[in-house]
Amino acid sequence: MMFSEDRRKTLKFAGGAAAAVIVPTQAWAEGSGLPSGMLKILVGYPPGGGTDVMARIIAEKLKERLGNTVLIENKPGASGTLAGALLRDGPSDGSVIMYVASAGSAAQKVSKKTMLYDLEKDIVPITQAGTLCTVYAVSATIGVRTFAEYVEWLKKNRTKANFGTTAMGSSTHFFGVEIGQAIGIPLEPIAYKGAGPLIADISAGHATAACGGLTDFLTHHRADKMRIIAVSSPKRMLAAPDLPTIVELGYPKLAIESYYGFFTSAKVAPAAVDAWNRELRAVLETPEMRQRMLTLGLEVKTTTAKEFFDIQSRYITMFARSMKAAGYEPD
């Protein structure tokens, strides 16, 4: 994957200071490179899903640390990419950033012939927030509690061999398709505009199965509104050590790990990107926040801007292989 020289220089600059040990300081001090007014975090999905919940928790902690109003603005649409287009066209002062999963960013670059924005040119990474996995869950209404039981249920209910996905053309789409291939029962994906509507349907029994991020489904699994029967990570997640991995279930080739991170407009000055990196990492890396994110399914792992850039590049390559295995062509 090729990237522009200007962008590489920006990330090198933005990642330098952030690589140092993070020491809490009085934020927004003079010369910090960040605006002093209201800040905004764009989320490309409706309220109620895991992405939205995490963003609001982070926003509250940023508000406490910075003393500024931090607003969450939900902009669902185009499999999560509408928010990226709005970020591109937003202000250049660093007051607007975006919180997004790989499913709504890097995965969309691979699976779409065109995106609403250019991931390489229009926005720049600030920091990775953490890693997570994709999960496959079933509605509590169908009486299934394990992967093996679900396979047997499908054999008797072929007309219901489908699953809702939080984002078409993402790992939450391909993981479900590949599971169907692996068990020999094709599973048809049904598109939803984010986790909120899908969770509502599966909880009510209108949808029998769903594929999405662990962060979206974990609290609902614990509340017995749905049952997670497989996770995509190669090893058990710290957030949910009781859940079986797809490797343990006998399908190691389906293993894949995703991430969440923060981005801003490419128009934003490198100094502001660097300042955001410092402040976000300071918030995310506190023991309290690590534990809180873990309960939602996210293992906090922050990076410099350049490190996040490289993670994204590797994910794009890995995701392209997964998409090919699922037999999916860019649409």
| pLDDT of 4 | 52
5-131+257-325 maps to which CATH number?
Answer: 3.40.190.150
Closest CA relative to residue 55, chosen from 249, 195, 198: 195
Buried b (16+ CB within 10 A) or exposed e, 79-95: bbbbbbbbbbebeeebb
Report the C-alpha gap between 216 and 197 in whole angstroms: 11
Query: What does each C-alpha distance from 117 to 78, 80, 89 come to in angstroms?
Result: 11, 11, 10
Report the C-alpha gap between 309 and 15 in whole angstroms: 10
- Fold adopted by 133-254: D-Maltodextrin-Binding Protein; domain 2 (3.40.190)
Per-residue confidence at 321, pLDDT binned at 50, 70, 90? confident
Question: Which DSSP helix (H) or strand (E) runs through 208?
Answer: none
Report the C-alpha gap between 167 and 8 in whole angstroms: 29
Question: Which DSSP helix (H) or strand (E) runs through 133?
Answer: strand 123-139
Q: What is the DSSP string of 27-95?
A: TT-TTSSS-SS-EEEEESS-TTSHHHHHHHHHHHHHHHHH-S-EEEEE---GGGTHHHHHHHTS-SSS-
Contact 79, 109 (CB under 8 A): no
Spell out the SS3 assignment of 49-68: CHHHHHHHHHHHHHHHHHCC
Query: What does each C-alpha distance from 143 to 1, 124, 146, 211 come to in angstroms?
Result: 45, 45, 10, 18
Between 91-95, 167-171, 240-244, 300-304, the lowest mean confidence (pLDDT) is in 167-171
Q: Is residue 138's pLDDT more than 80?
A: yes
* Tokens representing residue 46 in the block: 């409706």
Per-residue confidence at 136, pLDDT binned at 50, 70, 90? very high
pLDDT tens digits, residue range 12-53? 444 444 443 333 334 443 444 678 889 999 999 889 888 999
* Tokens representing residue 21 in the block: 């040990």
Every domain of the chain and the residues it spans: 5-131+257-325, 133-254
Same fold, 5-131+257-325 and 133-254: yes
Per-residue confidence at 11, pLDDT binned at 50, 70, 90? low
Closest CA relative to residue 163, chosen from 146, 183, 180: 180
Per-residue confidence at 193, pLDDT binned at 50, 70, 90? confident
Mean pLDDT of the chain: 88
Rounded to an integer, the average pLDDT of 206-218 is: 92
